[in-house]
Amino acid sequence: MAAKLVECVPNFSEGRRLDVVEKIVAAVRETSDVILLDYSSDADHNRSVLTFVGTPEGVEQAAYAAISRAAELIDMEQQEGEHPRIGATDVVPFIPISGVSMQDCVEIARRLGQRVGEELNIPVYLYEQAATRPDRENLANLRKGEYEGLKAEIETNPDRQPDFGPNQMGKAGATVIGARAFLVAYNVYLNTDDVAVAKAVGKSIRHSSGGLRYVKGLGLLVDGQAQVSMNLTNFKGTPIHQAVEMIRREAARYGASITHSELIGLVPQQALIDAAVWYLQLDDFSQDQILEHKMQAEMAAGQNVAADGAGFLADLAAGTPTPGGGSAAAYAGAMAAALVAMVARVTAGKKKYADVENEMLSAAEQADQLKTALYEAVARDAASFEGVMAAFRLSKDTEDQVLTRGQAIQQATLHAAEVPLEVAERAATVLNLARFVAEHGNINAVSDAGAAAALARSSLSGAAMNVRINLSGLEDDKQIARFQSRLETLEQQAAGSLAAIRTAVENRGGITGMDL
């Protein structure tokens, strides 16, 4: 079966104190088997959104750690912002990515809810697919009255009794936890400061008020401008462009128009392609007409690699500090991911492997994403080292300059350690995928799966060396310990994956004497 991956997109009621947000983010980064993909903060909403993926166990633990950290740092008695909220950690959805079902995510949500309620003494409500009753499926119902309204009713109103935890609100408020499909968070701004217009438009587009299916919308005033804030719970059922055009028409009724829009967090590429095709009226459009899409497809098929590789090798061999070992490690990881995608694709579509076709297609998609991220890390690693060198070149003629220079060196060195750590994490994920395709993929490509494993191992090892060399320049013992602990965990996981791949290649391919 495919590697088990779950996505979590928790929302926290803090978007102004960025030092607090960073501490919550750190709780996720410190958790094993999890990769932080994105986080963003909005001061007007006073809200931050994190996106991370990983194993079901890792994601569950990371979510708990983040909720616990937020409960320590955010006081809901002092919190205020434009976005509706009921707690320090306002909502925690789990989304199945691969190798797991929606029911698996429901079980994660319920386990986490019980733990948060019992160990952190926070009231927890289950929503969407994890809801215990129909009226709690919709998040808006649970947020009715926000923190202040819930605090006033939770002790006396039976309908507001939480699923887990006490019937009493502390400074961390309450938390909503659940399981759902992928959601697109999208905001549209209007050329008016009249929030009543935004509220009217928000009401007209949201499904609960008779608007578009799969759309949740409300009107807000953000930085003096009317905003229609939306969650699209099924971007295929109601695409982004359809929602935007309805907002455009409804706003025109009040003499308003759209000035700009924004995405919160991540969005599937397909959602943007669908919008572009619709607006450009490309009736006979094929995704193969997208340059990057075509290039990736060709590279996955093993074409055009030589020319790109020759350019990178020439840069690597040049007498310059960058690119160096960290970039080479990232490039090796990208090649490993490309090989995994190839093995998965030569397996899918074969009758002999029909029982794993869906898992293979999912593995290929994951490997493509990892390949892109690792390839981008080639340049990012070089840039991070150049940042360190730039910090060392800062003036040190006065005490203030010495202090500023020292802080800049520490910050740049920390970033120079973070980039190869991300490479190591992704290389470990590639190894997990390599194990799957080695054990279940086309037997004629089992040696390719082994080659992918060897490259991923080299990627992880090279990246780990670059992390450790940068740690020698850090002064923060806690940061050093965090990096070292994470590397040790990744290396232990890699050892298990490599052993399983060696066995699969030997048993299925008859290849012995491998040094994996």
Among 225-239, 321-335, 378-392, 448-462, the least confident range = 378-392
Query: Selecting from 1.10.1050.10, 3.30.360.10, 3.20.190.10, 1.20.120.680, what CATH number does the domain 289-509 have?
Result: 1.20.120.680
**pLDDT tens profile 283-297:** 888 877 887 776 666
Whether the pLDDT of residue 195 is over 80: the answer is yes
| Position with higher pLDDT, 63 vs 392 | 63
Mean pLDDT of 499-516: 81
What pLDDT, on a 0 to 100 scale, did the predictor assign at position 94?
Answer: 96
What span, in angstroms and rounded, lies between the C-alpha atoms of 236 and 10? Answer: 23
Q: Note whether 227 and 198 are within 8 A (CB).
A: yes
Token duo for residue 456? 């991923």
| 343 band by pLDDT with thresholds 50, 70 and 90 | very high
| Position with higher pLDDT, 140 vs 2 | 140
Q: In the block, which residue shows the tokens 């998609």?
A: 365
| 442 band by pLDDT with thresholds 50, 70 and 90 | very high
**What ranges do the domains of the chain cover?**
5-179, 184-268, 289-509
| Position with higher pLDDT, 481 vs 99 | 481
| Position with higher pLDDT, 2 vs 113 | 113
Whether the pLDDT of residue 311 is over 70: the answer is no
Q: Find the DSSP H helices in 348-445.
A: 357-392, 399-440
What span, in angstroms and rounded, lies between the C-alpha atoms of 209 and 120? Answer: 36
In three-state secondary structure terms, 154 is coil
What pLDDT, on a 0 to 100 scale, did the predictor assign at position 3?
Answer: 67
Host H or E run for residue 64: helix 56-73
Q: Find the DSSP H helices in 208-324.
A: 240-252, 269-280, 291-300, 305-317
What pLDDT, on a 0 to 100 scale, did the predictor assign at position 194?
Answer: 95
Whether the pLDDT of residue 179 is over 90: the answer is yes
Q: Note whether 244 and 188 are within 8 A (CB).
A: yes
What pLDDT, on a 0 to 100 scale, did the predictor assign at position 303?
Answer: 39
What pLDDT, on a 0 to 100 scale, did the predictor assign at position 307?
Answer: 41
Q: Note whether 457 and 498 are within 8 A (CB).
A: yes
What pLDDT, on a 0 to 100 scale, did the predictor assign at position 72?
Answer: 96
What span, in angstroms and rounded, lies between the C-alpha atoms of 462 and 324? Answer: 10
Whether the pLDDT of residue 125 is over 90: the answer is yes
Mean pLDDT of 358-367: 91
What pLDDT, on a 0 to 100 scale, did the predictor assign at position 304?
Answer: 40
The rounded percent of the chain whose pLDDT value lies above 90 is 62
| 324 band by pLDDT with thresholds 50, 70 and 90 | confident
What span, in angstroms and rounded, lies between the C-alpha atoms of 64 and 92? Answer: 10
What span, in angstroms and rounded, lies between the C-alpha atoms of 375 and 333? Answer: 8
Q: Note whether 330 and 375 are within 8 A (CB).
A: yes
Mean pLDDT of 302-310: 47
75 — phi, psi (to 5°)? Answer: -105, 110
Its CATH class, for the domain covering 5-179, is alpha beta
Q: From its phi and psi, is residue 304 left (phi > 0), alpha (psi between -120 and 50) or beta? A: left
| 317 band by pLDDT with thresholds 50, 70 and 90 | confident
Host H or E run for residue 63: helix 56-73
What pLDDT, on a 0 to 100 scale, did the predictor assign at position 37?
Answer: 86
Whether the pLDDT of residue 104 is over 80: the answer is yes
Whether the pLDDT of residue 358 is over 70: the answer is yes
Mean pLDDT of 47-76: 95
| 1 band by pLDDT with thresholds 50, 70 and 90 | very low
Cα dihedral 327→333→335→338 (10° resolution): -140
Catalytic residues: 83, 381
What pLDDT, on a 0 to 100 scale, did the predictor assign at position 508?
Answer: 87
Contacts of 475 (CB under 8 A, 6+ apart): 410
What span, in angstroms and rounded, lies between the C-alpha atoms of 437 and 454? Answer: 14
Q: Which CATH architecture is the domain 184-268 placed in?
A: 2-Layer Sandwich (3.30)
Among 59-68, 149-158, 171-180, 398-407, the least confident range = 398-407
What span, in angstroms and rounded, lies between the C-alpha atoms of 492 and 431? Answer: 12
Among 141-150, 246-255, 301-310, 501-510, the least confident range = 301-310
**pLDDT tens profile 202-259:** 999 999 899 999 899 999 998 899 999 998 988 888 999 999 999 999 999 999 999 9
Whether the pLDDT of residue 513 is over 80: the answer is no
* pTM (predicted TM-score): 0.51
| 516 band by pLDDT with thresholds 50, 70 and 90 | low
Whether the pLDDT of residue 315 is over 80: the answer is no
What span, in angstroms and rounded, lies between the C-alpha atoms of 350 and 490? Answer: 34
Whether the pLDDT of residue 73 is over 80: the answer is yes
Host H or E run for residue 112: helix 102-119
SS3 content of the chain, % helix, strand, coil (to 5): 60, 15, 25
What pLDDT, on a 0 to 100 scale, did the predictor assign at position 244?
Answer: 95
Q: Note whether 99 and 59 are within 8 A (CB).
A: no
Report the chain's mean pLDDT, rounded to a whole number.
Answer: 89
